Structure 1
Amino acid sequence: MTSQLIATHRDNAEVFAGDASLCKLKSRELLSEINLPKGLLPLDDVVEVGYNRSTGFVWVRQRKPKVHRFPAISRSVSYDAEVTAFVGDRRMKRLTGVKSKELLFWVTISDIYVNPNDPGKIAFANTTGLSRSFPVSAFEEEEEAEEEEEEVASRTDG
């Protein structure tokens, strides 16, 4: 299903493939461009990133699915080998390939957005319309979060 969707939007898309470090960099740049935290897609072994600006469709392919734990919110998130979404400013909608573990169940995430009225919170919604919000800072890249903590510590020490 997602492969068909990718094929439909491949024409006129910017596609980066092959080099895993380049693909990971491009996925971070995309998140930055749409004003979402760069650590939101902590994927490894990324083999392809595509962005069709005219339709807003993006996709990321990795060699195998990955489960990542976000320690700041104590949540595990599962990323399929193919993750797709339609993007806009501070938003990913009609998301596929992402699930969050809630208690004992994996819940499919269909929308991710930063509320313009509260830019410090990011919300994750499922197809039933239920959503849960967390601090945006929980999804910054781990290196950035560590640098910010060190900067705060140096200001309080001096």
Structure 2
Amino acid sequence: MMKLWMAPAGLHIEPARSSDAEDLARLHQQGFYRGWPREEFASFLAEDATPTYIACDAKRRVAGFAMIRIGGDEAELLTIAVDTKWRSKRIGTALLRATFADLMMSPVRRMFLEVDELNAAAVKLYTREGFAQVGTRKGYYPKADGSAATALVMARDLD
């Protein structure tokens, strides 16, 4: 049985397939200075420990995705990206909530993530969804100008 979750703007969320690697790489390039290549996404999509969820329309045109890594009773949000034309439509919120719902059916009880401290929209989203800062990682994100941004390490319980 296929898992499906509702999303705003007529989209739905479903597990990603290996054939989605190209779309995920394209969206990741839009959102991050150093986007991951298609081959890296293909490798992640082939592993059970890195479930990936896509927000898409009825024709499976991908508007956004979230990828996590599971280890024991913890999960890490590896990355989340939303197509620029779909931003500010609560797609990221829907992706996170679908991820939480799916993880409730697993042994995972806590989720972690890193976020650029200057990415106000993402920090606001994560805070609104119950994440709290638990640490920092100085120089974690490389920037186009050669400097590096600090990452906030955030976590939330899944209960």
Give the TM-score band, short-chain normalised. 0.3 to 0.5
Identify the structure with bigger relative contact order (alpha carbons < 8 Å, sequence gap 6+): 2
What is the TM-score normalised by the length of structure 2? 0.34
Normalized per residue, which structure has more strand? 1
Work out which of the two has the higher radius of gyration on C-alpha atoms and give 1 or 2: 1
